[in-house]
Amino acid sequence: MSRLTCSLLLIPTPVFVCLLILFLPLLRLLARTRMYEFPPRELFVAEANIGDVAPENRTQVVQPLVGAEDTFDVAVSVWLARTVEEQEYIFDSEDWDDAGRSLSAEQLVGPDAAANMTVWEKSLVLMTHRNFLDGYHDAISSEKVVFSDAVFRDVRMSDTNLHAEVPLQIPTEIFHEMQGNNNVLRASFVVIPKSPLLPYYKHFTSWYPHDFFRPQLKSFPFPLNSTEHTYHRPIEQAFDSFGFTIPMVEYHSVAPICLSDDTSEIANHPHVITRTHLRMVRETRLFNASLYTGLHESLQSTACGHYPESEAWHVTRCHERRYIHNVNYETRLWFALPSGDGNETTREESAYAPFMDVLQSSAGPRDVVPVPINRETCAEAVRSSQETMNITWRLSFGTLSPRRFLLSDLDILPSQRSDHTDSDFSRAMKQETTELFGVVYGHRHGPESSAGFRLLRFTISLISNSLLFFLACIYWFTRPTSAFISIPGTLLIVSGELCACVFGIYYILTQSTGKDPGVDVSFIVYSLIGNLPSTILILRAISPLKLAWTFTGPRIRWVKRTHQERASARLDAGWLWRVSLFAALTLVYWAFDFQHTYIFEPALFARNENDTTGRLSDNAATVADALIITGTVSQLALNHRSGVFAGRYRVAQILALLSELLKQISAVPQPGTQRSTLSLSYAELVWNAVLVVGAWQACVMSSRIPEDDGMDE
């Protein structure tokens, strides 16, 4: 068995150990939450669908309100807080009392349904409708509806990657009055099922307390500005019970407009979120009725902080809505269906509501737009304010399995929001990061988004770089001799990598704003781990100093060079051509700015011409590239003279080339690809040429070290 094969067999061990260390906290979390079998398997029954259950046994199961073949609509509404003047007008208006109150029972439910009603039932319909109008009147006295309609229609559980755009015109006057309130502009979402059970609706139970006030979720009439006055059916209250609302406003710092002595940033400026991703759990299995009842009642008693020993509940707890806690236990609907035996008796069936919420990290920095108002007192500030704000709200919808929904619910992505201090390049990088994680969470930012391809490239690059790191460590750890290794070239490569590492850390430390300390520390740790182990192993392999263990402890001794090592050193002799090549590369890179001269230019550039630290880092990168290329060429030249491929594993050389080629292919303009940061510079082209030569040598040369004749100095 060749040395290459033996070394490759050693790869799984360190890889497995590292992966185990990295994923041990996640494994513990999975074990504690039983995420691998969520919801609990004992909750389900053996039957696949409700049709497999005998009618007389259907009280023993809870079926989904939205089955695999059922359709539903997603109602979306946008609410804006009223100004003080608008609220006074609403209170003084007398037209509202006449709107909708004069409708008869026949107009509300239709003449056919009203004909089969008793007088008491008609009175109940009118009372329920007027009670709803009273509550709706109280709600719209403080808010007005900007938009309300079914954005996604006839959706199925199998549908994913649905997209819609909603144009909104938002008055900005209220943002002058209300500061720091996220709900000054909010959105609400309600699932409207089209189940065949709906005509037999009886009542529902919800996890919300009966006396808990919830904001309105749909306009009346619905859709907004509809000319039809429809009856607000009791079942719509059940639909609202598993709907939800989210704020559409965030507050971030902005740069001041007025030029005064105090030029500090302005905090708490309102920004509108223009992207929202709706996600629904793809749950259509049958639940065991007795177990579901216990879980539903447990959620009712604890979700809003309403514990048995206390009659108080807390509003904040009622807004903490997560799938890992609520699952599909929020709302249970009851239906009275005909028994089918020819009599007028009915049988009772129940259904659980679907669970839908939003992905909190779906919006990137480009999806958060500042409100065009200014509270500063100068002419420039007055001119910058606008009375209305026109935005395009981008909505998307998708369904996820329970386990993948839990993964996205962890939301491990750090906040990618930015402020006025971030450059356009930094915003673009944060936006790309948001889109990449969105693919992991089941969210595509657009029908033609290339985030999936970029995620694949990123994953392959991460795996290949990890393999290259482990292969390098194994190669130098198991290297028995420095024969056929260009020691001057290896020292140049190590110097270049350390130079790039040191100046990279220096740039991070000098440019850090302290907003994302975790990201800065992660970059520093990653840089050190990626360079120090391989550097130590390389110096250990090429150094004549060896560490020996004796009875008295470790000792360092000088090892004489073998005949092969002396012969290899003679083939690799000469520093003049290396110095000349290094000087030529440095001069050409600096004169023609190879680091920033592109074959395929990025849409945004990371370098700032006025950034002194950035220019220093560019010069350091030029020196590091020249050192690494000179050292690599030295090793390739020795390989050519000796006929033995050395310096790294052959498979590692080919893998390095393929990884770079994939990176450069990604920089080629493609339809639907956002080329904000991808590029191909002349410096990368030169490095790819060196990798091609190395890959050719790896294919045609042997890496087997000839046996030494044993002649020592």
pLDDT in tens, 183-201: 899 999 999 999 999 888 8
Q: Calculate the average pLDDT of the chain.
A: 78
Residue 444: per-residue pLDDT? 76
Residue 389: per-residue pLDDT? 92
Band of pLDDT at residue 305, cut at 50, 70 and 90: low
Q: How many alpha carbons fall within 13 Å on the CB side of residue 358?
A: 24
121, amino acid identity: E
Identify any residues that bridge with 165 across adjacent strands, giving them in sequence order: 394
Model's pTM, two decimal places? Answer: 0.74
Place of tokens 């491929």: 645
Residue 308: per-residue pLDDT? 45
pLDDT at 447 over 90: no
Residues 6 or more apart whose CB falls under 8 angstroms from that of 621 comprise: 500, 503, 595
- Highest mean pLDDT, choosing among 305-314, 386-395, 549-558: 386-395
pLDDT in tens, 570-609: 999 888 999 999 999 999 988 888 888 878 776 655 555 5
Q: Is the dihedral of CA 33, 39, 45, 48 positive or negative?
A: negative
pLDDT in tens, 647-688: 999 999 999 999 888 877 766 655 444 555 567 788 889 999
Q: Exposed, middle or buried: residue 11 (CB in 10 Å: 0-12, 13-18, 19+)?
A: middle
Band of pLDDT at residue 620, cut at 50, 70 and 90: confident
Residue 254: per-residue pLDDT? 80
Band of pLDDT at residue 395, cut at 50, 70 and 90: very high
Calculate mean pLDDT across residues 82-101. Answer: 61
Calculate mean pLDDT across residues 485-504. Answer: 91
Is the preceding peptide bond at 40 cis, omega within 30 degrees of 0? Answer: no
Residue 176: per-residue pLDDT? 81
Distance, in Å, from the CA atom of 698 to the CA atom of 712, rounded to the nearest integer, reads: 30
With a pLDDT cut of 90, the percent of the chain lying above it is 29
E strand segments, 583-678: 598-600
Calculate mean pLDDT across residues 517-541. Answer: 81
pLDDT at 80 over 70: yes
Residue 448: per-residue pLDDT? 63
Task: Check if the beta carbon of residue 201 is closer than 8 Å to that of residue 235.
Answer: yes
Residues 6 or more apart whose CB falls under 8 angstroms from that of 136 comprise: 216, 220
pLDDT at 48 over 70: yes
Query: Residue 149: left (phi > 0), alpha (psi -120 to 50), or beta?
Result: beta
Task: Check if the beta carbon of residue 317 is closer than 8 Å to that of residue 303.
Answer: yes
Give the H/E segment covering residue 113.
helix 111-115
Q: Which of 326, 509, 519 is nearest to 413 (CA)?
A: 519
Lowest mean pLDDT among 249-258, 344-353, 495-504: 249-258
Calculate mean pLDDT across residues 417-422. Answer: 66
